[in-house]
Structure 1
Amino acid sequence: MFDVIAAEWEKFRSLRSNGWLLLASLLAVGLSAGVTAMVVRGYDNQTPDERLSFSSVGDGLSTGLPVAYFVLAALGALSVSSEHATGMIRTSLVAVPRRGLLLFAKAPVVAGIGLAAGLALAFGMHAAAMAVLGGRADDRLLDGTTLGTTLSQPGVLPGLLVAGAAGAAAALVGLGVGALVRSTAGALVTLIVILFVLPGAAQVLPRPLGPRVGSFMFENLPEQIAHPHPEGVLGPIAALALLIAYPVVALTGGAAAIALRGRRFRPLAVGLAATVLLALVPALPSSASTSALTWSKCRGEVECATLAVPVDWARPQGRKITIRLGRLPATGTHRRLGVVFSIPGGPGGSGIGDLEKHGASFAELRRHFDVVSFAPRNVTDDGPDRPRAFSLDCLKTGPWIELPDDRAEFAALGERNRAAAEQCRRADPEYFDNLDSASVARDIEAVRAALGEARLSFVATSYGTVPAAAYARLFPGRVRAMYVDGGDGGRPEGEAEQRVRYASIERQFARFAAWCRATTTCALHGRDVVRVWQDLVASADRSPVPVRGRGVAYSGFDFKVAAAPSVVSPGPMPQAPRWHELAAAIAKAAAGDAAGFASYVEAVTGSPKPMSFRGMNMTHCQDGLSVGGYEGYRRLRALGEKVSPNFAGNELWHPLACVGWPAPVKNPPAAPPSRGLPPMVAAGSWTDHDDTAYLVRNVPGSSTIRYDGSGHGLYLSGERCTIAHANRYLLTLTPPAPGTTCAPPAPKP
């Protein structure tokens, strides 16, 4: 046998056309470099925001790989078809009468040449493409990939090795086709159909059929074997089995042709048996999760289901409530990697509503994940998701909060808060006392179990970071990845927290004042904005400013609470509609009428002054939001007066609503543990980055994304740079580098 193999090597080495073919295979390297250069030219001509939508070059092999495989397959085909064309096959059969032996003696030779050449070409194409990309290779894209993938990135080196090794399989396919067809021209046409025509036809099929069919094409198999997040639906074992099946089928066909001529059927039987076994592997059931939920269409693309959970998780066998779930299913053109669970903000927001309104933000993630959310037990939205235990009037109303000046006023505030809470609590005391975020986290765990998922990945927004932090504490082993956006995750309401928040809003107010100085359409343009504001607040604290015709007046504290949301979120820049509205309201209030504030506050809340909604307080207070008694209140108030000249006291508005609250604290503020969790990623804008960073600071390997602009809930609001970094993390589990920043897109001329 070894003598026959050595003779076949001598034949291969002496055939001059083989050398020219190997030289021609370098065309694949040039093709990869050329196409990458075209991508770079288009990429460089786009704005940073537009570049996020580019498709990744990946490892640089996709364009040149089919050419490389064709050349190597042609080498295999010529090793046998050239003998038929020249008549040398007769001489070979005289020397080796056993036809099957002659064919299979060629296999090690062409496989070895295919392996060596395939590896050289794979690394050559990669090196050429990355050289053209240069530093652009690490640029993040919206789908979570980078423009190129360097050897330092996970999965790239194994991918190159598998792609190169597949050159041996390509050469064996060519060998089998050459033995079957016996004609050089016929063999090359057959290989063109296998390696070019069929993959091209798959690309024009409608989705998701096209990508599914394309997953079975030869050139797409190496990526599905080695890449951790391939563009295909086959698992690594199935893809490997199919890659092996290609040459087995081809060689079986070649052996069958020889056997029929030589009447030896054993190779044919062996080949057919091997083909059947390999074909069964991709057909085996996948290890996909088994869900106990029944989904049905409910809102556009969103599918809905329901799940019963205990009202009180301390009594799991007790009374149950039903929560509604929403799902944006995976698009089905890539291998599914699991579930991303979106936790809505509020407290009281509906995650199903988020999926309906902001589903476009999840478009790229859905290539690999189902995106699931829910209407949590504390949802206050007026819609089909809201539990009917409490009336909408109860959830959407509450007392007006004032700053107490002494212990008696503090006690009176507590009595008012308690009375307001009891009006709601009496409708369902058990339910009312279990609206904390730890109970919400346990509901999420019940959803995970019902989904049949071993672990969940999370996107938590605003107050959704509080149940996210609770889940991380309670079930750290169930967290695959956690991205938190625009919240503090349950940071204790102490002096350090208040300093951070006061510093943040003071910086933002300074930006508002600078914008007004530079914007001629600002109602306060040409005036000292800070002085006008401080004079208004001081005057209103002495004598509240009336809302003419409404019987309502604003204190200085009311003005701060009403102004803060607009200061923090000016709206789309550079138009800044909410800053325009705020400036006009300040100008009108300074002239003696608070109607401007009352108008926009009432449009959002239904009240001419900011109300402390009981629906939010039900969760805030059970999550431990507190001023720490009267003495704690006095310390925090004095701190605000010391560090915040424009918004002193504003940070006390929410915690003061919990003074006298009747339900017990069930989820005391605490950060996630420092052990047992994967690295996490936090993102935030000018006004909430530092708060959000607190949540991940103790978890090793975690990082943050700082958005150099205004806004809140960056992922759901569609901030593309942030989404690109978050998707990269959720897909690969690799956090962004420390110090990562995103900037607002430049205004279009």
Structure 2
Amino acid sequence: MTKIKRNAALLAASAVVMGLTTPFAAATTSASPEFSPALALGAAPMAPEPPLDWVECEGQGLDPRQECATVEVPMDYAAPHGRKITLALSRIPAENHRKRRGVLLMIPGGPGGGSLDAPSGKGQKLPQDVRDTYDLIGFDPRGYGRSTPVSCELEKSDLALTKLRPWPAPDGSVTGNMATARRMADACARNGGELIRHISTANEARDLDRIRAALGERKISAWGVSYGTYVGAVYNQLFPHRTDRVVLDSNDDPDPTRVARGWLAMYETGVEDNFPEFATWASTPGNPDRVAATAAEVRPLFLRLAARLDREPIPWPGANPEELNGNVLRQTMLDTLYDPDRYPTLARMIQAARKGTVPPVPQGPPDSVLQNSIAAGAAICNDVAWPRSAAVYERGVAESRAEYPLTAGLPRSAMICAAWPDAPKEPAVRITDRGPSNVLLIQNRRDVATPLSGALKLRAALGRRAVMVTVDSTGHGAYLANGNACGDRTASRFLATGERPAGDVTCD
């Protein structure tokens, strides 16, 4: 029996590249707020799915109980009898069969990330009563990892985070960004095949319903994180009566006119919400990585150092790019603010650069993993059309740089989507308040990638369908991650028992 192999390095790339909430023709349906089989495309009654062939998973550090399987789904839901692609699934069965309620689908962030190993990883952080209640289900989305993969075969220089995230030139110019966008988009069109054109959030939601059917479940519960909150919200919009208990953690603004373009813009407020926390930490007496005597000094110090590195980059052999410049420092700042545990990384880079030296070269995932993750993140371009005019981005960058100097225009600059060759195949799904009241949102007050201001827009869109738990914590990821015990208890209680706060609450 063939075993499904797992490259653990894939996990390290899941939120690093095109995924913003960490850096492509035939459907003609509209984004009606009402569920219908026509909208779901492929959701109409089907013949019973054959039983899944569960086998031992290969990989390091996996729980021995985790098992793996595959399921076939249409590449194009508008042509459901055409070419099929494979999705890789995993599960750890519920630990108490007498208490088993169903399955908990662990929806990954990204786009361009997977959760195939999540039942063995963060799934084991779930409290016992939740693990007793559900089979924990992980999966790799279409195009990613052990599912049918895609790759754009980009040039190595374009795998640098400062290219994948569209940092403008030091003077604010987007000329280089537009050239990079054209080069990358051409490579994806040339090398990504037909599948890359069918990677979208709506299609991932349809895939989830095929997974539900393959598991033999009438309904599924879900825990979506970061981009997974948008996937979970879209699934609950398209298939409202096939959801049981839904926890959405670190929530994206669901604006259907902007989608990922809006998420990129959210870095402006996300950084402003979070940088003061770093500044306080980086000026604490006794901190071996202290960079300033007071918190008020850290921001101007950072801005001066970034400007100096713009003018006088420091050679950095072995890195990509092979210099420590202003945008590398800014990108490190952005990555660091995802988790307070990462603060030393930025502090040590600041200390090194002030001395004219560089820190050790960071160890990232292999290039092949990055190539796959970038291409599998194509939903950011396929969900909604981005402006194609450099002038639009130039105006936005100038405004952003003036108001939000820490992010230097990045949130309104031109990504690969500015040159994407294909228009979206269908409108983005509009999230509404129509459907069952079975959603719990959990959200840190300070989150660089999915700020509270954006999460409140998802809360407003869902209306009576949801309640929101706001956690007075810092970092990207609230439930069982960077949140607090109050938030964790509230989400766990809902998953285990269905008990949900009567209204929105705050966990201090």
| TM-score, normalization by structure 2 | 0.75
**1:387 matches 2:148:** yes
Q: The residue matched to 2:435 in structure 1 has which SS?
A: coil
- State how far apart, in whole Å, the 2-side matches of 1:738 and 1:391 are: 46
**1:488 matches 2:488:** no
Q: CA 1:375–1:716 in structure 2 vs 1: closer, same or farther (change >3 Å)?
A: farther
Q: The residue matched to 2:117 in structure 1 has which SS?
A: helix
Q: CA deviation at 1:356?
A: 1.8
1:522 counterpart (277, 289, 301): 289
Q: The residue matched to 2:88 in structure 1 has which SS?
A: strand
Q: CA deviation at 1:533?
A: 0.8
* CA shift digits 1:386-430 (9 cap, x unpaired): 5344388789963624416899x6466334323324334434521
Q: Is the 2:94–2:133 Cα contact (8 Å) retained in structure 1?
A: yes
Q: The residue matched to 1:307 in structure 2 has which SS?
A: strand
Q: CA deviation at 1:359?
A: 2.4
Q: Is the 1:493–1:625 Cα contact (8 Å) retained in structure 2?
A: no
| Match runs of 1:503-652 below 5 Å | 503-520=269-286, 521-526=288-293, 528-541=297-310, 543-549=311-317, 552-571=322-341, 578-593=342-357, 595-596=358-359, 599=360, 602-604=362-364, 614-615=374-375, 617-624=377-384, 626=386, 629-652=389-412
- State how far apart, in whole Å, the 2-side matches of 1:730 and 1:529 are: 41
- State how far apart, in whole Å, the 2-side matches of 1:310 and 1:611 are: 23
Q: CA 1:328–1:723 in structure 2 vs 1: closer, same or farther (change >3 Å)?
A: farther
Partner residue in 1 for 2:473:
709
| Match runs of 1:92-241 below 5 Å | none
2:159 counterpart (388, 395, 398): 398
Q: Is the 1:404–1:410 Cα contact (8 Å) retained in structure 2?
A: yes
| Match runs of 1:650-661 below 5 Å | 650-652=410-412, 656-661=415-420
Q: The residue matched to 2:340 in structure 1 has which SS?
A: coil
Q: Is the 1:481–1:730 Cα contact (8 Å) retained in structure 2?
A: yes
Tell me how large the CA RMSD over aligned residues is: 3.5
* CA shift digits 1:30-54 (9 cap, x unpaired): xxxxxxxxxxxxxxxxxxxxxxxxx
- State how far apart, in whole Å, the 2-side matches of 1:681 and 1:545 are: 46
1:683 counterpart (416, 435, 442): 442
- State how far apart, in whole Å, the 2-side matches of 1:509 and 1:379 are: 32
Q: The residue matched to 1:387 in structure 2 has which SS?
A: coil
Partner residue in 1 for 2:212:
448
Q: CA 1:710–1:524 in structure 2 vs 1: closer, same or farther (change >3 Å)?
A: same
Q: Is the 1:340–1:457 Cα contact (8 Å) retained in structure 2?
A: yes
Q: Is the 1:683–1:692 Cα contact (8 Å) retained in structure 2?
A: no
Q: CA 1:525–1:497 in structure 2 vs 1: closer, same or farther (change >3 Å)?
A: same
Q: CA 1:625–1:718 in structure 2 vs 1: closer, same or farther (change >3 Å)?
A: farther
**1:296 matches 2:49:** no
Q: Which has the larger radius of gyration?
A: 1
Q: Is the 2:442–2:468 Cα contact (8 Å) retained in structure 1?
A: yes
Q: CA deviation at 1:559?
A: 2.2
Q: Identity over the aligned pairs, expressed in percent? A: 26
Q: Is the 2:314–2:325 Cα contact (8 Å) retained in structure 1?
A: no
- State how far apart, in whole Å, the 2-side matches of 1:450 and 1:325 are: 10
Q: Is the 1:705–1:722 Cα contact (8 Å) retained in structure 2?
A: yes
Q: The residue matched to 2:70 in structure 1 has which SS?
A: strand
- State how far apart, in whole Å, the 2-side matches of 1:469 and 1:629 are: 31
Q: CA 1:656–1:555 in structure 2 vs 1: closer, same or farther (change >3 Å)?
A: farther
Q: CA deviation at 1:739?
A: 4.7
| AA partner of residue 493 (structure 2) | R
Partner residue in 2 for 1:221:
none
Gaps of 5+ in 2: 1-47
Q: Is the 1:351–1:373 Cα contact (8 Å) retained in structure 2?
A: yes
Partner residue in 1 for 2:114:
350
Q: CA deviation at 1:444?
A: 0.5
Q: Is the 1:624–1:669 Cα contact (8 Å) retained in structure 2?
A: yes
Q: Hey, which of these two has a bigger chunk of helix by percent?
A: 1
Q: Is the 1:673–1:698 Cα contact (8 Å) retained in structure 2?
A: yes
- State how far apart, in whole Å, the 1-side matches of 2:242 and 2:498 are: 14
Q: Is the 1:457–1:482 Cα contact (8 Å) retained in structure 2?
A: yes
* Structure 1 residue ranges (4+ consecutive) displaced by more than 4 angstroms after TM superposition: 391-397, 404-407, 409-412, 493-500, 548-551, 610-613, 666-671
- State how far apart, in whole Å, the 2-side matches of 1:718 and 1:516 are: 19
* CA shift digits 1:253-273 (9 cap, x unpaired): xxxxxxxxxxxxxxxxxxxxx
Q: CA deviation at 1:667?
A: 6.4
2:505 counterpart (737, 740, 745): 740
Q: CA 1:669–1:411 in structure 2 vs 1: closer, same or farther (change >3 Å)?
A: farther
Partner residue in 2 for 1:337:
101
Q: Is the 1:637–1:649 Cα contact (8 Å) retained in structure 2?
A: yes
| AA partner of residue 698 (structure 1) | A
Q: CA deviation at 1:340?
A: 1.6
Q: CA deviation at 1:445?
A: 0.8
Q: CA 1:443–1:548 in structure 2 vs 1: closer, same or farther (change >3 Å)?
A: closer
Q: Hey, which of these two has a bigger chunk of strand by percent?
A: 2
Partner residue in 1 for 2:495:
730
**1:374 matches 2:133:** no
Q: CA deviation at 1:338?
A: 2.0
Q: The residue matched to 2:363 in structure 1 has which SS?
A: helix
- State how far apart, in whole Å, the 2-side matches of 1:695 and 1:585 are: 36
Partner residue in 1 for 2:227:
463
Partner residue in 1 for 2:13:
none
* CA shift digits 1:220-240 (9 cap, x unpaired): xxxxxxxxxxxxxxxxxxxxx
- State how far apart, in whole Å, the 1-side matches of 2:241 and 2:391 are: 40
| AA partner of residue 351 (structure 1) | S
Q: Is the 2:151–2:375 Cα contact (8 Å) retained in structure 1?
A: no
Partner residue in 1 for 2:42:
none
Q: Is the 1:396–1:614 Cα contact (8 Å) retained in structure 2?
A: no
| AA partner of residue 546 (structure 1) | I
User: What is the aligned residue count?
Assistant: 436
- State how far apart, in whole Å, the 1-side matches of 2:170 and 2:422 are: 26
Gaps of 5+ in 1: 1-288, 572-577, 744-749
- State how far apart, in whole Å, the 1-side matches of 2:424 and 2:376 are: 14
Q: CA 1:553–1:694 in structure 2 vs 1: closer, same or farther (change >3 Å)?
A: same
Q: Is the 1:545–1:553 Cα contact (8 Å) retained in structure 2?
A: yes
Higher relative contact order (Cα pairs below 8 Å, separated by 6+ residues): 2
| AA partner of residue 279 (structure 2) | A
Q: The residue matched to 1:371 in structure 2 has which SS?
A: strand
- State how far apart, in whole Å, the 2-side matches of 1:356 and 1:392 are: 31
- State how far apart, in whole Å, the 1-side matches of 2:109 and 2:125 are: 16
| Match runs of 1:243-322 below 5 Å | 292-298=51-57, 299=62, 300-322=64-86
- State how far apart, in whole Å, the 1-side matches of 2:345 and 2:71 are: 43
Q: CA 1:631–1:674 in structure 2 vs 1: closer, same or farther (change >3 Å)?
A: farther
| AA partner of residue 556 (structure 1) | G
